[in-house]
Amino acid sequence: MTVYFDYQCFQQKVGGVSRCFCELIKHMPADIACKILVKASENLYLRDPQLLPDLPSPRLTYDNYAGAISFKGRRRLFTWLDRNVPFFPSFTSINRRYAKAALAAGDFDICHVTMQEETCLLDYLAGKPFVFTVHDMIWELFPTPLRQKWSRQKRLFCQKAAHIVAVSGHTKHDLMRLWQIPEENITVIYHGAPDMSDHTYTDIVGQPYFLFVGRREGYKNFEQTLYAFAHFHQHHPEVKLLCTGSPFTPREQRMIDALHLTDKVRCRYVSDEDLYNLYHYAIAFIFPSIYEGFGIPILEAFANGCPVLLNDTSCFPEIGGDAAVYFHADLQGDSDLSEKMAYIYSLPADQRRRIVDRGRQRAEQFTWHAAAQRLAEVYRKVVGR
């Protein structure tokens, strides 16, 4: 059986969605031949020896098409040129033309659509079925005008898909509740945990800290975490809060300063290797988000021997099981996070080891091999083999 994967998620240089698809493709059983419809990309995961190690980088991207000139609307202009100027030599345009031609030729059994941005691909499937993965329902639960557009496109793919993959039972139930999609049209396939068996850890901080990973806007509940940490910090001034990802916004920095945490809350952009080091030496990883479709950082923390503090909502109990320590935090300011931070910081070494061991055992239940096998079953079912 031949499965095509469209280029959409591989337009990003790094990112959870593209990484997950690369892992699934690498672990696919031998009877499934996978082809990624990409001609040029900066995506780091595609350069794996098992995938497309010789893939050329695109000559024209969002970042370089206007040289060093910076102006308001730069990305919007790139998108307009890409959509409206024939043979505009952007990486998106090159991959789009390649994918359209490959799909129209029809030399495949099933297509896996990786994202919802390119609805034009529906016209080139040559009557062949496609599978669509829904990673979360954030756009629907936390709408903005732009998210509403994306949501309409996502719903279109869900309506036309031969089958839908949801990354958690919670996401599956959201699809059924919000869009009345029949349960038999959805299969839950969990993500896998990273294999850390060969990793050697290095302490790159050298002092006690809690860890906050990734984006921080709105439903991610970062402000509530700052308040909780400020309360905890009054009794434990030696501890820091370390964040990864984009630099703090002016609003975030003002809030940090107002809470007298200027030198105690830091942010840095890190490689995967350094992120794993940060997990390993952290007091705990804090995940206060109000909603997630799955929560890959949970498995990353477990696999790297890091205790996990999880909000008791969304899919978190489904993924964390009995291996996490749960707190409650909502956007209205109700939270017992600071108490749970104090609890886990004061744990004796033997109790902490038990929590770490439970986390590692939990991570072992989530493998990319199992995920790929289950996805292959979906393909076979759709194609009728």
Query: What's the farthest any 2 CA atoms get from each other in the chain?
Result: 66
Instruction: Look up the pTM and report it.
Output: 0.92
Name the one residue in this structure whose structure tokens are 């990353």. Answer: 300
The boundaries of the domain holding residue 170 are: 2-192+368-383
Assigned domain for 200 exists: no
Assigned domain for 95 exists: yes
Same domain, 63 and 181: yes
Q: What is the pLDDT of residue 228?
A: 96
Assigned domain for 204 exists: no
CA distances from 373 to 27, 33, 191, 271, 367 (A): 8, 13, 12, 29, 10
Assigned domain for 221 exists: yes
Same domain, 331 and 218: yes
Same domain, 54 and 121: yes
Q: Which residues of the chain have pLDDT under 70?
A: 68, 385
Same domain, 217 and 163: no
We report the CATH number of the domain holding residue 251 as 3.40.50.2000
Same domain, 248 and 294: yes
The residues near 284 (Cβ < 8 Å, ≥ 6 apart) are: 210, 211, 306, 307, 308, 309, 325, 341, 344, 345
Q: What is the pLDDT of residue 79?
A: 78
Query: What whole-number distance in Å separates Cα of residue 166 and Cα of residue 191?
Result: 10
Q: What is the pLDDT of residue 180?
A: 97
Same domain, 308 and 373: no
Assigned domain for 197 exists: no
Q: What is the pLDDT of residue 126?
A: 83
Per the structure, the count of domains in the chain is 2
Q: What is the pLDDT of residue 68?
A: 66
Residue type, 149: K
Assigned domain for 199 exists: no
